[in-house]
Structure 1
Amino acid sequence: MVSFQDANYRGSWCCQLILFFIWLPTFQDVTARETHAGPRQISTLVELAKEPISGESGLFEPIEISPAVLPKYPYPTEPLSPMYTSFPSSPNRYLPVLTGKCPVNFSVSDISNIIDKTASDCTGALAALVGNVICCPQFSSLIHIFQGFFNIKSDKLVLPTAASDHCFTDIINILSSKGSNGTMLPTLCSIKPSNLTGGSCPVKDVSTFEKTVNTSKLLEACSTVDPLKECCRPVCQPAIMDAALQISGRQMMLNDNGNVAGEMNHTDYLNDCKGVVYSYLSKKLSLEAANTTFRILSACKVNKACPLNFKEPSEVMNACRNVAAPSPSCCSSLNTYIAGIQQQMLITNKQAIICATLFGSMLRRGGIMTNVYQLCDVDLKDFSLQKAAAFGLQQGCLLGSLPQDVIFDNSSGFSFTCDLSDNVAAPWPSSSSITSVSLCAPEMSLPALPTSALKNIGCNSGGVGFLVPIFSFLIFSTLLY
């Protein structure tokens, strides 16, 4: 029979042998070598744009274009400076004519600051060029904020129909008096007076809203929104949607019970109810905090789609269908087509990725299999506005994906910052069919830590304790060596 002491002794020697073999290689001479990543090790835009694999978990962040992709010209001769307009040199300001029927003091600093910001973002002819990215998101935020501001001292979350018409008119007149292209905004941004009324949403007061919605959860999710994480790991957006579903569900129950005549599209009053949720947030948050939140949410939305219009590229398809090497006729046709795109509007770097992929898929469906972007040296910034001399733009510009505003300075005029690393090759799609492009990095998860096998071979605490002084001595000896 083997005694407990014998087992303990054998276990300790077992551990000694294992640790000895682990320690032995440290006597070998090892020289550190610098490793350079080969071309195949550098991720491409298309790889970074793939959707996360289902079932993976862990933290994942949105792609930041600058560090994620190496530009073709890593050392530009001169950095692209912010774009400064030369026209108009100063906004055409005047005293607005108000209806006198909107019971709001527009001179209160909080609402006045938001209006000033909106007027600057939607200034003059520039409004159409930055409408999708800067102007309309800010104008939409102003409308949401005004709903809460109008009812700041009441239990209501929306405006009466009569007041909405007058107040909307006053807002447009004030924006126009501050240099904004106010008459164009309702059409440009698809916003009308009825957006202030809550439309068909059945919940339009604070007391009913708070009885229906978990408001503490809503406010916790939307009081502070992370601009980098919200678009890929949304927190506020699902909270708003959940609240809208809850208050719109009251209408669904009424319809199901036959208490409301006629049928109504649930999508319509779901969107109306989302407006009511925004109004509630604007009542509970400071106006500046609400504006920041609403702009971030808008940025998440606009960066998911390409805002450009693509006509059928038949001439490009005919010229480039069978090319396998740089072709003057193909590149000339492609550049001519893209020159038409460059007259539309300024877009963000993330929108440019989607636009380039969308257009490339159109070309692939037309039989062009070769990466003509690479053959013809097409960059991401080629899909944004180019050479707008009236606004001081000569090189093309991609806006950053995070919300920004148009800034006015008396000496330099209007300006905004372009992406300083937009000389990035346009991504060529791997397929002719494209449903969506994810601009979030793939999810990553750490593997589970392996369970130690030492516990199964008799290595007990007594043996390990015996080896501590020996192991310390060996390490010290190695350092001296």
Structure 2
Amino acid sequence: MRAQLILLLCLLFNCLCRFHCTTVDDVEGYISKKIQSKAKPPDLAPSPDPQPFLPLIAPSPLIPITNRSLPSLSGFCTLNFSAAASLMSTTATDCWDSFAPYLANVICCPQFDASLAILMGQYSKYSGMLHLDKTNARHCLSDFEMILESQGANNQLQKLCSIRPENLTEASCPVSDVKKFESIVDSSRLLAACGKIDPVNECCHQVCQNAILDAARKIARNGTSNLPENSTRIDDCKNIVFRWLASKLDPSSANHVLRGLSNCKLNKGCPLVFPKTINVTKECGYMISNQTACCKAMENYVSHLQKQSFITNLQGLNCAASLGMELQKANVSSNVYDLCHINLKDFSLQVQKQLFFLIFFLLVFLICFNVLTVLSLDSGCLLPSLPSDVTYDAASGIGFICDLNDNIEATWPSTSILLGSCNETTKLPALPTATSAQSGLYMKKSVFLPLLLSSSLVLTTLI
């Protein structure tokens, strides 16, 4: 608490000293000059190798907020970044600096992976190969991350999304040549199954997923004997299949397919890390003697989950079921969700607990810029089962959509509950209908956020 107050006071002092209560128009004029002064092509190191395709990407609206310079690329990457320029801008926004760690599982990393697959697919059109060598992969991944960072993305995306240069190579898959791939795989069947998907139906019926798995198995075997079902080679070959698909679709369509498939995967489980439940089982196990003590222990436990990340509503169901089954195994037989009024949104990141600091921030900017603005916050934000991209526009600012912001009670699991995301194939209870769908965290441009956002204090203070 004291450290946060000190940071806020420093922010206020810096704001007053640096801008001298500058008006918004003055600040925007300053930004405009900065953009013009930085609108120069990056210096590229000379290379005997073919010159890379430079990204013809318009300056992101996040650049004036983050105040970052244009990237200086390696000059050794042969990927055509221009082929996926708009998707890279989307990726930069989805992986925006301060939000990225909290949206990584649901929005940022799926888009990061999709953009890489699409870039690789476009590369195969003129190279005939669905992989990069290790050296080129290292340069390309670094350049890709630098371009995103220059547009406002987090600078630790490789670590955050567990992506390494090896992910752009063929890894253990024996087939990465386009002609050989198409001689082994029934490409017309694969394209028919995956050229266009309905995200909801695909998660239930898995038409495209089964076609991808079948193609991956064929190129993984490559004429040899059968491989184990959990073979790492099959997973590596799936990446090759994704790239081939991306090469046959326009970037926007490919992104829709890849993001749809990633949603099916992420909604099948719970991404949260559960701490040890010893305190809950101590107070809530067997016959509960003190309901107040039990609920306090339960609330303290859930508060640790609320610091981790934003999750989808289906992940919320899975997380509630997973924790409930873990507690049941530890002899907590009573429905503590009902007893302690635990809701689905209690499993997702909280952004309202320290409203005092929010008000303090607003006062800081009211003093500095003499403007009125609104920050729309929810106490617990569950994202939709098909999460949308983070958005940015001059009128609304930066934001994402929340779903199920009502008090939907978490479901205490019965012995028949199976985890999953498709009601047609599991016994998971139907997802309750929310009566509201709201913006997750919208920040008005009129407030001018460089000082606040570039310091990465937004979420660390509000959460």
Fold agreement, TM-score > 0.5: yes
Residue 20 of structure 1 is matched in structure 2 by none
Distance 1:88 1:150 in 2: 28
Contact 1:408 1:414 in 2 (8 A): yes
Provide closer, same or farther for how the CA distance between residues 397 and 131 of structure 1 changes in structure 2, counting only shifts above 3 A.
Answer: same
Contact 1:231 1:300 in 2 (8 A): yes
Residue 295 of structure 2 is matched in structure 1 by 331
Q: How far off is 1:251 after superposition?
A: 6.8
Contact 2:283 2:290 in 1 (8 A): no
Correspondence 1:141 to 2:114? yes
Q: How far off is 1:293 after superposition?
A: 0.3
Residue 132 of structure 1 is matched in structure 2 by 105
Correspondence 1:428 to 2:401? no
Residue 305 of structure 2 is matched in structure 1 by 341
AA matched with 2:88? I
AA matched with 2:73? L
Distance 1:326 1:355 in 2: 26
Contact 2:381 2:403 in 1 (8 A): yes
Sequence identity percentage:
42
Aligned residues: 345
Provide closer, same or farther for how the CA distance between residues 116 and 351 of structure 1 changes in structure 2, counting only shifts above 3 A.
Answer: same
Residue 91 of structure 2 is matched in structure 1 by 118
Q: How far off is 1:368 after superposition?
A: 1.3
Q: How far off is 1:265 after superposition?
A: 11
Q: 1:237 aligns with which of 180, 189, 209?
A: 209
CA distances 1:91-133 after superposition (whole Å, capped 9, x unpaired): 4442001001112443x2x411111111100010210101000
Q: 2:184 aligns with which of 190, 212, 225?
A: 212
Provide closer, same or farther for how the CA distance between residues 298 and 428 of structure 1 changes in structure 2, counting only shifts above 3 A.
Answer: same
Distance 2:271 2:390 in 1: 19
Distance 1:382 1:366 in 2: 21
Q: How far off is 1:278 after superposition?
A: 0.7
AA matched with 2:75? G
Gaps of 5+ in 2: 1-61, 359-374, 427-463
Q: Which has the higher contact order (CA 8 A, sep 6+)?
A: 1
Gaps of 5+ in 1: 1-86, 257-263, 445-481
Q: How far off is 1:186 after superposition?
A: 1.2
- Give 3-state SS (helix, strand or coil) of 2:392's partner: strand
Q: How far off is 1:197 after superposition?
A: 1.2
CA distances 1:342-376 after superposition (whole Å, capped 9, x unpaired): 01100000001110011111111121111110011
Q: How far off is 1:273 after superposition?
A: 0.8
Distance 1:417 1:142 in 2: 22
Residue 221 of structure 1 is matched in structure 2 by 193
Give the TM-score, by structure 1 length: 0.67
Q: 2:402 aligns with which of 396, 415, 418?
A: 418
Distance 2:407 2:237 in 1: 42
Provide closer, same or farther for how the CA distance between residues 443 and 170 of structure 1 changes in structure 2, counting only shifts above 3 A.
Answer: closer
Distance 2:308 2:164 in 1: 24
Residue 30 of structure 2 is matched in structure 1 by none
What aligned pairs does 1:453-464 form with structure 2 within 5 A after superposition?
none
Correspondence 1:367 to 2:334? no
CA distances 1:13-65 after superposition (whole Å, capped 9, x unpaired): xxxxxxxxxxxxxxxxxxxxxxxxxxxxxxxxxxxxxxxxxxxxxxxxxxxxx
AA matched with 2:72? V
Provide closer, same or farther for how the CA distance between residues 303 and 353 of structure 1 changes in structure 2, counting only shifts above 3 A.
Answer: same
Contact 1:89 1:413 in 2 (8 A): no
Distance 2:66 2:194 in 1: 35
Correspondence 1:441 to 2:427? no
Provide closer, same or farther for how the CA distance between residues 251 and 269 of structure 1 changes in structure 2, counting only shifts above 3 A.
Answer: farther
Task: Report which stretch shifted further, 244-253 or 333-342.
Answer: 244-253
Contact 1:349 1:401 in 2 (8 A): yes
Structure number with greater Rg is 1
Correspondence 1:299 to 2:263? yes
Provide closer, same or farther for how the CA distance between residues 276 and 354 of structure 1 changes in structure 2, counting only shifts above 3 A.
Answer: same
Distance 1:439 1:142 in 2: 25
Q: 2:383 aligns with which of 387, 399, 404?
A: 399
Contact 1:349 1:422 in 2 (8 A): no
Q: How far off is 1:421 after superposition?
A: 5.2
Q: How far off is 1:403 after superposition?
A: 3.4
Contact 1:348 1:398 in 2 (8 A): yes
- Give 3-state SS (helix, strand or coil) of 1:130's partner: helix
- Give 3-state SS (helix, strand or coil) of 1:353's partner: helix
Q: 2:72 aligns with which of 97, 104, 112?
A: 97
- Give 3-state SS (helix, strand or coil) of 1:218's partner: helix
Distance 1:334 1:402 in 2: 29
Contact 2:80 2:122 in 1 (8 A): no
AA matched with 1:376? C
AA matched with 1:123? W
Provide closer, same or farther for how the CA distance between residues 152 and 424 of structure 1 changes in structure 2, counting only shifts above 3 A.
Answer: same
Give the TM-score, by structure 2 length: 0.70
Residue 153 of structure 1 is matched in structure 2 by 126
Provide closer, same or farther for how the CA distance between residues 265 and 351 of structure 1 changes in structure 2, counting only shifts above 3 A.
Answer: closer
